[in-house]
Amino acid sequence: MGWNRKVLRVNLTAGTCTPELLNMEWANDYLGSRGLASKYLISEIDPKVDPLAPENKMIMATGPLTGTMASTGGRYTVVTKGALTNAIACSNSGGFFGAELKFAGWDMIIFEGKSPKPVYLALENDKAELRDAAHLWGKTCWETEETIKRLHQDPLTRVCSIGGAGENGVLYAGIINDLHRAAGRSGVGTVMGSKNLKAVAIRGTKGVSGIKDFPAFLAATTAAKKVLADNAVTGQGLPTYGTQVLMNVINEMGALPTRNHRDVQFEDAGKISAEAMHEKRPTDGKAHLVTNAACFGCTIACGRISKMDETHFSVKNSPKYWGASGGLEYEAAWALGCANGVGDLEALQYANMLCNEHGMDPISFGATVGAAMELFELGILTKEQIGLEAPFGSAEALCKLTEMTATGQGFGKDLGLGSARMCAKYGRPDLSMSVKNQEFPAYDGRSIQGIGLGYATSNRGACHLRGYTVASEVLGIPVKTDPLATEGKPELLKAFQDATGIFDSAGICVFTSFAWTLADVQPQIQAACEGDWSMEKLNLVGERIWNMERQFNLAAGLTAKDDDLPPRLKTEACKTGPGKGVVSGLDKMKPEYYQVRGWTPEGIPAAATLERLGL
């Protein structure tokens, strides 16, 4: 079996930690991690609950492949009702924290209630206790991790924590583990902060036992690793260039949203690209990139470790930022750079480090700055209101606004609302490039039609990781489709969405899907887990997870109206690139998508669909 069969329930109100047996019937129906934790959450909370109320719960969960020798098997998820989105939230992180949770003998931790004072959970194998965190409150994620490791006198303790963003109610606060890995999206860190939970520190020495058929598992994981190694993207592109390899590619095809989606190509993309990170700087003769890095058990190693130019204006008086640190990844580089028209690589790295240090989602933060810069250029926001000049392209403004948001100062409080609430506050809700209050990631939904449909229908708000049709529409994986065509995209998106549910729920990284299909994952799950995990079953479970999440959102009050894109994408055509003159075909694709899903025209899963899925 790939599960430890153990759940830790932490009641923060009462200050208790209680072990429970994992519901194996649910594990058989929802696999693990995203699917299984969502099943627990949905069974235990009122969908209409205020995300920041004690009645909301937050679950940290592993999958059956987490902590095993499956490549990338280090993932864990945080499942809750999202502070930013008011929808189901599931944020996924790599690093080493997830594997450590498994090594300590647990499948998941359910946090409920609210602690009367700041605490952190100390978990060492079977021993779990809540400890006072008054001395940690106010510290950054980096300081918190360092302090806990010193206190525990164990550098191998794995820590996840919130920083000032989560403490101060920034609505897109994330949870940082291993210094620069993040469960970043939808405000899961904000929920953690609302519970007065500062950190979780884990030391596990039990390893992973109970793989059902070890010889078969060894054979399946070895074969699957070879597929990753032999693939041009996972074997060469990602280790060499990281996800940033996409910057020039997406710019070329006119799908790189720029200046709050006013443009689809960025004239300075080359300056902030993966290639630029390899080049020697004229100032100090050193390359920005130091090395690549891998999360637990990963044979791809897409992570970037970089060092800033010590003479850059943002850090010249702050030596603490001169060391090697995580980033830049593609999404952060896009949101902090292209979305704001900022082509200063060092400024992006500084802003990215602050996001990691203080626990903020760089995608939502960067895109919110982009919306603020547009409001400034339109004269709706003034220098006096913001506290500085904030035109598109200003690296100085980006750096200052990051500091202000991370520490809750001045206009940073407005930026901490996210773009939807901020733009509504200043009378231009149409300028928020978001769905369900969550900001778009780094692909334009006009020049890549399938991803636009994906943003609109994603259960956790705009997201590329819920159905990455870019793989097919741009990279030809597993088959090439025309990015500008709308035909066939509902079927394509459904297939990606359902399959992603399995990757996430297994505890592996979705980047494997550049090379793996479900057929590569299936033998690994089947060998690890008891029961039937055939392709038919996996396809059914993936679809079941998607529909379960949908039902939660509908019960929370969301409707088909929330499956929409901002007017800009539907009325303002791409100005340049291969998609010049094109707008999103969402209004055509959405009804077809509902049909393909077996939903009513109102976007509600039909009775027959629910019955087929056992919901």
Interacting residues toward ligand SF4 by CB under 6 A = 72, 94, 294-295, 298, 300-303, 509, 511
Dig out the tokens for 368 from the structure. Answer: 């919110």
In whole angstroms, the minimum distance from the beta carbon of 328 to ligand SF4 comes to: 13
Alpha helices of 159-306 — where are they, by DSSP H?
A: 164-167, 188-194, 214-230, 238-241, 246-252, 274-278
* Residue 269 amino acid letter: A
Q: Tell me the torsion sign for CA atoms 207, 213, 216, 217.
A: negative
Which run of H or of E encompasses 128? strand 127-132
- When the beta carbons of 301 and 604 are compared against ligand SF4, the nearer one is 301
* Burial of residue 462 (number of CB atoms within 10 Å: 0-12, 13-18, 19+): buried
Indicate the DSSP class of residue 429. G
Q: How far is the CB of 307 from ligand SF4 (least distance, A)?
A: 19
Q: What's phi and psi for 137, nearest 5 deg?
A: -60, 130
Amino acid making up residue 480: K
Cα–Cα dist 595/498, whole Å: 15
CB of 113 to ligand SF4, least distance (A): 32
CA-CA distance, 344 to 486, in Å (whole number)?
A: 35
94 versus 441: smaller Cβ distance to ligand SF4: 94
For ligand SF4, give the closer residue by CB, 295 or 401.
Answer: 295
Nearer CB in complex with ligand SF4: 239/366: 239
CB of 101 to ligand SF4, least distance (A): 16
Burial (CB count <10 Å: 0-12, 13-18, 19+), residue 216: middle
Query: What's the rounded Cα separation, in Å, for the pair 282 and 71?
Result: 38
**What minimum distance in Å lies between the beta carbon of 11 and ligand SF4?**
32
For residue 297, the minimal CB distance to ligand SF4 (Å) is 8
Q: Alpha-carbon distance 451 to 428, whole Å?
A: 25
CB of 301 to ligand SF4, least distance (A): 5
Residue 83 or 302: the one with the smaller Cβ distance to ligand SF4 is 302
Q: Shortest Cβ distance from residue 516 to ligand SF4 (Å)?
A: 11
**Torsion sign, CA atoms 490, 470, 422, 174:** positive
C-alpha closest to that of 54 among 171, 183, 162, 193: 193
- For residue 20, the cross-strand partners are 7
Q: Which is nearer to ligand SF4, 332 or 415 (CB)?
A: 332
Minimum CB distance to ligand SF4, residue 118 (Å): 30
Q: Are 43 and 104 in contact (CB under 8 A)?
A: no
Residue 255 or 298: which CB sits closer to ligand SF4?
298
Closest contact distance (angstroms) between CB of 302 and ligand SF4 is: 3
- Among the listed residues 452, 488, 461, the one whose alpha carbon sits nearest the alpha carbon of residue 579: 452
Nearer to ligand SF4, 490 or 507 (CB): 507
| Lookup: tokens for 268 | 């300075």
Read out DSSP for 342-382?
---HHHHHHHHHHHHHHTB-HHHHHHHHHHHHHHHHTTSS-
Residue with Cβ nearer ligand SF4 (328 or 397) = 328
DSSP tally for the chain: helices H, then strands E: 25, 17
Q: How far is the CB of 607 from ligand SF4 (least distance, A)?
A: 39
Q: Tell me the C-alpha distance between 209 and 322, whole Å.
A: 41
Question: Shortest distance, CB of residue 352 to ligand SF4, whole angstroms?
Answer: 15
If the CB atoms of residues 60 and 375 are measured against ligand SF4, the closer one turns out to be 60
Q: How far is CA 84 from the centre of its chain?
A: 13
Residue 581, judged by CB atoms within 10 A of its CB (0-12, 13-18, 19+), counts as: exposed
- Cβ(297)–Cβ(100) below 8 Å: no
Q: What phi and psi values does residue 197 have, to the nearest 5 degrees?
A: -100, 110
Structure tokens at 473: 């529409």
Q: Closer to ligand SF4 at the Cβ: 82 or 184?
A: 184
Would you say 295 or 417 has its CB closer to ligand SF4?
Answer: 295
Task: Estimate to the nearest angstrom the gap between the alpha carbon of 529 and the chain centroid.
Answer: 26
DSSP category for residue 124: E
Provide the minimum distance between the beta carbon of 72 and ligand SF4 in the complex, in angstroms, as a whole number: 4
Question: Do strands 325-326 and 303-306 pair parallel, antiparallel, or not at all (unpaired)?
Answer: antiparallel
Q: How far is the CB of 300 from ligand SF4 (least distance, A)?
A: 4
Minimum CB distance to ligand SF4, residue 60 (Å): 17
Residue 66 CA: distances (Å) to CA of 13, 74, 106: 30, 5, 11
Say whether 39 sits in a helix, a strand or coil: helix
- Nearer to ligand SF4 among residue 174 and residue 303 (C-beta): 303
CA distance linking residue 549 with residue 457, whole number of Å: 11
Q: Report the C-alpha gap between 542 and 532 in whole angstroms.
A: 15
Q: Residue 183 or residue 302: which is nearer to ligand SF4 going by CB?
A: 302
